[in-house]
Amino acid sequence: KIMFEIRPDYKPFLLRDGTMIVRLDKALYGCIESARLLFNHIKTTLIGMGFKQNPYDQCVFNKGPLESQCTVVVYVDDLFISCRDAKIAKETLDALTGVYESVKVTEGLVHSYLGMTMDFSKAGEVKITMNGYVEDLLKKHPVTGTVTSPAASNLFERPETDARLSPVDSDEFHSVTQKLLYLAKRV
């Protein structure tokens, strides 16, 4: 109803049941296909800039010889650019800024990216931690007590009753499991 107050010229497209079918000219943030469309656009942009897609990880793009290689890691709309040569990194950033209207840049020796904190302050090495991720996880899902193993001695025994989790508890269980797997694969 509000749409027709704003755009009365849309009224002829209203169906009898009160719905309207529209065709989008471009992706909307949050739609299922939007992330794929954005990735394909970024991929085309990077390849046009001379980057090659990594054969082992489709979200990693590399350009240049190993000693001055520039690497761009893509995760939805977050990019992480790494390069030994600051001039090449700046050129890459400038080219991306020319294509995408809003680019937020974080420079320095310490960066947060996808729950990880990367510290480049010691020459020749990087220290990666996930303290913030772990703290947030523990705030949302407090842990009480300690055990030497989270598995009970009857781990592989089937219970006499088939007690299933409620849909809400099942979603919570799967969410926490996914978050712990994400953490386990990165530390």
Complete DSSP assignment for 68-113:
G-EEEEEETTEEEEEES-HHHHHHHHHHHHHHSS------SSEEEE
Predicted local confidence at residue 187, as pLDDT:
63
Predicted local confidence at residue 108, as pLDDT:
83
Q: What is the mean pLDDT of residues 162-169?
A: 83
Q: What is the mean pLDDT of residues 136-163?
A: 80
pLDDT tens digits along 18-42? 888 877 777 777 777 888 888 999 9
User: Angle at which helices 167-184 and 131-140 pack, to 10 degrees?
Assistant: 160
User: Among the listed ranges 63-72, 87-96, 101-110, 137-146, which one has the minimum average pLDDT value?
Assistant: 101-110
pLDDT tens digits along 69-89? 999 999 888 888 988 888 998
Report the alpha-carbon distance of residue 130 to residue 187 in Å, rounded. Answer: 8
pLDDT tens digits along 109-135? 898 888 889 898 998 888 989 988 899
What mean pLDDT is reported for the chain? 86
Q: Which of 98, 90, 92 has its CA nearest to residue 74?
A: 92
Burial of residue 73, with CB atoms counted within 10 A of its CB: 0-12 exposed, 13-18 middle, 19 or more buried: middle
pLDDT category of residue 52 using cuts at 50, 70 and 90: very high
Angle at 91 between CA 85 and CA 97, to 5 degrees: 135
pTM, two decimal places: 0.64
Percent of the chain with pLDDT over 70: 98
